[in-house]
């Protein structure tokens, strides 16, 4: 048993599941199609003679192109959970741990294999989605090119964000050992908790909100940062911290609990 062979086994298991193809395909479609639809909608509003929709206030080609990122986040995160929790549901985890009795290489391999895959597909989807939206919005007041300052860095940041979300999904699936529980925890962390921050006092909310996983992740690929958001580098460090924390909890349970 070597690290390379564990990586190869996790790669083989990942691609042998139909859910991998379906969920990754959905994540890519969300990035490409939703951004294109938003771009067409914006352009149609310009030519309709009606007042611009409030949803497009302050829009840029970049923000329109990445309209599908929150939806792709769900797809990539859910597949990350399934990558780990599916083995507990089927009982295959016993065979996996019998082949890799040290256990932790299984978790690291799952995280690396799926994290890199999610990063690559997320980056490709973000870049292609931007090129599509850029073509649709060419000649408008918000037209942008991929060579504009910060655009390519931001698109890579979007892919990195989705990759880290995938790794956190793997950690959630390993920690909770339940598909429903892992997905609920992931969706709650990235989509529900930010909304609940509005219940906190304004002063406290301003101190906490930038450090939530979702807000820190969005800072990674934001072109412009305000005083109440983190810089791209700080956002990456915070999200990496959350990722390490999730993996640490998953590693602890994997070593301490029976399969």
In tens, the pLDDT along 36-83 reads: 999 988 888 776 666 666 666 678 999 999 999 999 999 999 999 999
What backbone torsions phi and psi does residue 201 show, to the nearest 5 degrees?
-55, 150
What backbone torsions phi and psi does residue 85 show, to the nearest 5 degrees?
-70, -25
Tell me what the pLDDT averaged over the chain comes to: 91
Instruction: Give the pLDDT of residue 49.
Output: 63
Instruction: Give the pLDDT of residue 52.
Output: 64
Global confidence as pTM = 0.92
Task: Provide the token pair at 95.
Answer: 């065979």
| Distances, alpha carbon 237 to alpha carbons 44, 56, 66, 75, in Å | 40, 30, 22, 23
Q: What percent of the chain has pLDDT over 70?
A: 95
Considering only residues 258 and 16, tell me which one the structure prediction assigns the higher pLDDT.
Answer: 16
162-173 per-position pLDDT tens digit = 999 999 999 999
User: Closest Cα to residue 84, out of 161, 14, 6, 184?
Assistant: 14
Statement: residue 239 has pLDDT above 90: yes
| Residues whose CB falls within 8 Å of the CB of residue 113, separated by 6 or more in sequence, listed in order | 7, 10, 11, 14
Q: What angle do CA 179, 182, 183 make, to 5 degrees?
A: 85
| Residues whose CB falls within 8 Å of the CB of residue 10, separated by 6 or more in sequence, listed in order | 106, 109, 110, 113, 114
């Amino acid at each position: 048993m070597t690290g390379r062979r564990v990586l190869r086994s996790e790669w083989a298991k990942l691609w042998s599941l139909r859910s991998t193809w379906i969920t990754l395909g959905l994540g890519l479609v969300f990035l490409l199609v939703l951004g294109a639809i938003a771009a067409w909608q914006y352009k149609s509003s310009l030519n309709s003679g009606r007042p611009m929709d409030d949803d497009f206030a302050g829009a840029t080609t970049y923000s329109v192109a990445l309209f599908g990122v929150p939806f792709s986040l769900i797809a990539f995160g859910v597949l990350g959970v399934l990558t780990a929790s599916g083995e507990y549901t089927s009982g295959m985890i016993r065979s996996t741990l019998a082949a890799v009795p040290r256990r932790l290489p299984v978790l690291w391999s799952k995280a690396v294999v799926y994290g890199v895959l999610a990063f690559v597909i997320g980056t490709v989807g973000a870049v292609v989605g931007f090129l599509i939206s850029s073509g649709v919005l060419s000649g408008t007041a918000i037209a942008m090119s991929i060579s504009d300052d910060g655009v390519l860095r931001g698109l890579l940041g979007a892919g990195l964000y989705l990759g880290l979300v995938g790794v956190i999904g793997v950690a959630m699936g390993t920690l909770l050992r339940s598909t429903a529980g892992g997905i609920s925890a992931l969706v709650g962390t990235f989509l529900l908790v930010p909304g609940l921050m509005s219940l906190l006092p304004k002063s406290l909310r301003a101190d906490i909100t930038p450090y939530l996983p979702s807000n820190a992740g969005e800072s990674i690929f934001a072109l412009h940062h305000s005083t109440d958001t983190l810089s791209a580098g700080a956002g990456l460090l915070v999200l990496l911290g959350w990722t390490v924390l999730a993996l640490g909890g998953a590693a602890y349970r994997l070593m301490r609990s029976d399969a």
